[in-house]
């Protein structure tokens, strides 16, 4: 009879990887090396909301330029956004979108919707197609 799954970190993969590494070495082969590809951002949706996460390191090629770079940006009281790409571009873009959403909120008398922020970000990305390189993941906060 198998044990029920419990929440939390599972060390099964660590043991498996150590075993596989030993087996591969016995065969005279080597495992592929891990490759760094840049910013890590993610979002997790659950019943009552969304959790956004991002790393904090900003690099210039192989050099770490900033060990504490904020990649989760404020858009409005109910919307935050994770950004990847040129730090200055992501910061300025989120500030512009935040300002435009604030004006929209003042004119409508309501909190902005994520769909509105998403549309504004898409329009900005389209207008600056070849000038700016970045990616965004907007996420709502339910109050």
Spatial distance between the Cα atoms of 20 and 59, rounded to a whole number of angstroms = 32
In terms of pLDDT, which residue wins out, 127 or 109? 109
Q: Is the pTM of this model over 0.85?
A: no
Spatial distance between the Cα atoms of 122 and 57, rounded to a whole number of angstroms = 25
Cα separations in angstroms, 26 against 13, 14, 107: 20, 19, 69
The CATH code belonging to domain 35-136 is 3.60.20.10
Tokens of 65: 């330029």
Q: H or E segment at 134?
A: strand 134-140
Domain boundaries, the chain: 35-136
Spatial distance between the Cα atoms of 52 and 41, rounded to a whole number of angstroms = 8
By annotation, the residues acting in catalysis are 39
Using CA atoms of 127, 43, 105, 93 in order, give the dihedral in degrees to the nearest 10: -30
The answer to whether 81 touches 139, Cβ cutoff 8 Å, is yes
Query: Given CA atoms 14, 15, 17, 22 in this order, what sign does their dihedral have?
Result: positive
Q: What is the pLDDT of residues 45-82, one digit of tens each?
A: 888 888 899 888 888 777 888 888 888 999 999 899 88
**Quick one: pLDDT at residue 139?**
64
């Amino acid at each position: 009879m198998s044990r029920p799954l419990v929440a939390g970190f599972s060390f099964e993969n660590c043991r498996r990887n150590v075993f596989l590494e030993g087996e591969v070495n016995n065969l005279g082969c080597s495992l592929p090396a891990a490759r760094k590809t840049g910013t890590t951002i993610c979002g997790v949706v659950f019943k009552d909301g969304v959790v956004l996460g991002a790393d904090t390191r900003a690099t210039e090629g192989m050099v770490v330029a900033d060990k504490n770079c904020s990649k989760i940006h404020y858009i409005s009281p109910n919307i935050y956004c994770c950004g990847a790409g040129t730090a200055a571009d992501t910061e300025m873009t989120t500030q512009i979108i935040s300002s435009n959403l604030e004006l929209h909120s003042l004119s409508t008398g309501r909190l902005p919707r994520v769909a509105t922020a998403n549309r504004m970000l898409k329009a900005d990305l389209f207008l600056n197609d070849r000038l700016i390189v970045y990616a965004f993941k907007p996420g709502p906060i339910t109050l």
